[in-house]
Chain A
Amino acid sequence: MSTVVLRGFGWRHAGRRAWAVRDVDLRIEHGERVLLLGPSGAGKSTLLAALAGLLPDDSGEQAGTVEIDGRSPADARDHVGIVFQDPQTQLVMARSGDDVAFGLENRGVPAGTIWPRVSDALDRVGFPYPITRSTAALSGGEAQRLALAGVLALRPGLLLLDEPTANLDPVGAELVRDAITRARADDTTLILVEHRVAEALPLVDRVVVLEAGGGIRADGAPEMVFAAYGDRLADEGVWVPGFRVPALKSPAAAGNEVLRATEVSVANRLSGVSIGVGEGEVLAVTGPNGAGKSTLALVLGGLLAPSGGQVSAFGDPKPPHKWRAATLTTRIGSVFQNPEHQFVTSRVADELAVGPRRTGRTPAQIKEIVDSLLDRLRLTKLAAANPYTLSGGEARRLSVATALATAPRLLVLDEPTFGQDRRTWIELVTLLATLRDEGHAVVAVTHDDDFVQTLADRTFPLGSSRPGEPLPRRRRS
């Protein structure tokens, strides 16, 4: 039930020189369904925050105006629902049911109708647990469903979704898209941010592409936009449907095994997995939400001691989790699922310098490593920024770069490509392929099918079927 009007809108975050979004003139009519696209860092999340009235005056500088049904976003807040890029930060209460009820209570919904609306919303997103389930015990994908339920229960006139399926397994993503489709029936205005266009297209009837430097690049019905600007948009980083990414399979067979895990398990999180990875190969670990992929990554990365089984690597008689930290970083580099869990400094450039400094590089070498990584992953302009203020995609690239900085022989990456636009995705994947061709080993946990198709030399499905030895090498036909 909401009409959105932006006139010359811009926002500059406090502490930044550059504008996050700028010169946006846009009118979205009541009931329209819009897919908002744009390269990583173009300001999509910032724009959604502005529409939800979540950019307080003291956190930056605004240009132009935003109106929702003729009112300022702060006043229209009770008609707007937003799901953030990182759902874990969206949960407020200790029990799942209470969390969905939280928004309803705040809006003064009569007590008698709250619980029916809560269970209806939970059903719509396929939340599998009772309402008493602790919100601290949910996996990434489950938290995303709960956050969406919390917003759908409010029956907002304007629904804002920021990459709502980024952390979901295919089944979960399908369910969430279903839930969104059903929310459409309630004649809601929808603005959806999603890098993976193909999956989002059935949900929308209009595409708006933000330009990185400001303004709007393209706007219109999906077919029209992609027919007219497809090539250029693909170059600029939009995942235009139909544009394939190049295959980067290893030309050679895997070399010597660098790491072998035998029947490793972690109490309640992972049971009996045997896996090995050799020089010059990329091994993809896939599987549903909660299967134990991240746990396995921590074990292989020498960060978590398995409660059963053995891990041996690099011919060292000691298992990786007993190595000294400085030894570990030169041999195995880890990237965590949540990039922010990994940051230990308050500047992007310092973040990249930590590893090389620990391994005894000279200042000149460190500078060279840092500069080249910043450049390759398009983070140069952000060298002095605080890692915690980066956009979702920027933070992901930085966290991958920190692991690359010490050039370890084995890389263990947890969801290395989520939230990337096409251009940075190719950049990342090419970087990994180069390392692989130089003989480094890569283990990547991923939900990203393109990643598997493009780069993975072998796939190890966890959870769904019984875990055992990896499937035979998968070839693209």
Chain B
Amino acid sequence: MRLLPLGLFDKVKLGGTPMATNPNRWRTIDIVIASIIAVAFGVIFWAWGLLWNGPADAIPLPGRAVLYGMWLVPAVLGALIVRKPGAAFYTLTLASLVSVAIGTSWGWTLVVQGPLEALGAEVVFAAFAYKRYNLPTALLAGTAAGIVAAVYDAVVWYPETSWTSMRLPYIAITAVSALVIAGLGSVLLVRALAQTGVLDRFAAGRSRALV
């Protein structure tokens, strides 16, 4: 029995010794850093949910979807830092699991929705053969995740609402929000993190001056 689609990562492992230098094999540090990003964003999701259902209630839907992009950041951020197959998927899936564990207002259907959104971003990185981690790819991945998320919401959470005045605008606004917050936001965040030296063991963080 297999509950989480984590099995994806089995295939990444090479048959031989673990020290085999397969560039796609996750190092311990890859796993831990992706997990920590996920845990941190699990908490941010929780806070964002309170914002969404609390103060932001003043902005009626679909307009409130401008905030949506935050829920997709870990997918892009995880991939930009780890740069391995499965990074987008693992990071966002775990982040949504963590947010479920600490209690969200959507209950734990996020266990289903998280991996679906994550696949949206993963597909984009896969389409570039896991070789491109630049701004355009990030924007595209963020948007893809946003569209998956919004379509899921439109079908599952907002059935019986009007397509023209609610569901289509909702999907469009979410996509733009994801492009800006998840796509652009992640690129900027990686840049800022690289400055602090915490990403020194990742390709994203090298190339600082010698001291």
| A residues lining the B interface (CB < 8 Å) | 14-17, 56, 58-59, 74-75, 346, 382-386, 388-389
Docked Cα-Cα span, A74 to B201, in Å, equals 17
Q: A382-B211, A384-B209, A386-B211 are in contact. List 15 more A-B contacts (CB 8 A).
A: A14-B200, A14-B206, A15-B200, A15-B211, A16-B210, A17-B210, A56-B27, A56-B201, A59-B201, A74-B19, A75-B19, A346-B196, A384-B211, A385-B211, A389-B197
A383 vs B211: C-alpha distance when bound (angstroms): 8
Interface class of chain B by DSSP? loop
Are A16 and B200 in contact, with the CB atoms below 8 A? no
Complex interface residues of chain B between 65 and 104 (CB less than 8 A to chain A):
none
Could you tell me if B197 and A15 are in contact, using CB atoms closer than 8 angstroms?
Answer: yes
| B24 CB–A CB distance under 8 Å | no
Q: A14-B200, A16-B210, A384-B211 are in contact. Are A346 and B19 (CB under 8 A)?
A: no
Question: Within 8 Å CB of B196, what residues of A?
Answer: 346, 386
CA distance A385 to B209 in the complex (A): 10
| Contacting pair B201 A58 (CB below 8 A) | yes
Chain A contacts of B210 at CB under 8 A? Answer: 15-17
Q: A39 CB to closest chain B CB, in angstroms?
A: 20
Complex CA gap A384/B210 in Å reads 9
B126-151: which have CB < 8 Å to A?
A: none
CB distance from A343 to the nearest CB of B (A): 10
For residue B211, which residue of chain A has the nearest CB?
A384
Cβ distance B18 to chain A, nearest Cβ, rounded Å: 10
Q: How far is the CA of A15 from the CA of B209 in the complex (A)?
A: 7
* CB nearest to A348 among chain B residues: B211
- Interface check B208, CB cutoff 8 A: yes
Residue-wise, chain B 151-169 has the 8 Å CB interface mask toward A (1 for contact) of 0000000000000000000
Q: Name the contact of A388 in the complex, choosing from B19, B195, B197, B206 (C-beta under 8 A).
A: B197
B175-211 contacts to A (CB < 8 Å)? 195-197, 200-201, 206, 208-211
**B residues within 8 Å of A by Cβ?**
19, 27, 195-197, 200-201, 206, 208-211
Interfacial chain B residues near A17, Cβ < 8 Å: 210-211
Inter-subunit contact B195/A346 (CB<8 Å)? yes
Note all chain A residues with C-beta closer than 8 A to B195.
346
- Give A389 to B211 CA distance when docked, in angstroms: 11
Pull 5 A–B residue pairs with CB atoms less than 8 Å apart, ordered by A. A15-B208, A16-B210, A59-B201, A75-B19, A346-B195
Q: Which residues of B contact A56 (CB under 8 A)?
A: 27, 201
Which of chain A's residues have a CB closer than 8 A to the CB of B201? 56, 58-59
A14–B199 Cα gap in the complex (Å)?
12
B82 → chain A, closest Cβ, in Å? 13
Closest CB in chain A relative to B35 CB, distance in Å: 12
Query: Chain B residue with minimal CB distance to A57?
Result: B21
For residue A345, which residue of chain B has the nearest CB? B196
Set of chain B residues within 8 Å of A14, measured between Cβ atoms: 200, 206
Most chain B beta carbons < 10 A, residue from A16, A17, A382, A386:
A386
A60 to B, closest residue via Cβ: B200
Which residues of chain B have C-beta atoms less than 8 A from A75's C-beta?
19
State in angstroms the CA–CA spacing of A346 and B211 once bound together: 12
CB distance from A54 to the nearest CB of B (A): 11
Tell me whether A59 and B211 are in contact in the complex, defined as CB-CB below 8 angstroms, given that A14-B206, A74-B19, A346-B195 are known contacts. Answer: no
Question: Which residues of the partner chain A approach B27 to less than 8 Å between Cβ atoms?
Answer: 56
Smallest CB gap from A387: residue in B: B197
Task: Specify which chain A residues have a CB less than 8 angstroms from the CB of B206 in the assembled complex.
Answer: 14
**The 10 A-B residue pairs with the shortest CB-CB distance in the complex, in nearest-first order:** A384-B211, A386-B197, A385-B211, A17-B210, A346-B196, A58-B201, A59-B201, A15-B208, A14-B200, A346-B197
Instruction: Give bound CA distance, A164 to B83, whole Å.
Output: 37
A258 and B197 CA atoms in complex are apart in Å by 40
Cβ-closest chain A residue relative to B206: A14
The answer to whether B197 and A16 have CB atoms under 8 Å apart is: no
Docked-complex contact B200 and A59, CB < 8 angstroms: yes
- CB-based nearest A residue for B207: A15
CA distance A14 to B200 in the complex (A): 8
Closest chain A CB from B169 CB (angstroms): 43
Q: How far is the CB of B102 from chain A (nearest CB, A)?
A: 15
Give the CA-CA distance A382 to B211 in the complex, in Å.
7
Minimum CB–CB distance from A73 to chain B (whole Å) comes to: 12
Closest CB in chain A relative to B81 CB, distance in Å: 14
| Cα separation A17 to B211 with both chains bound (whole Å) | 6
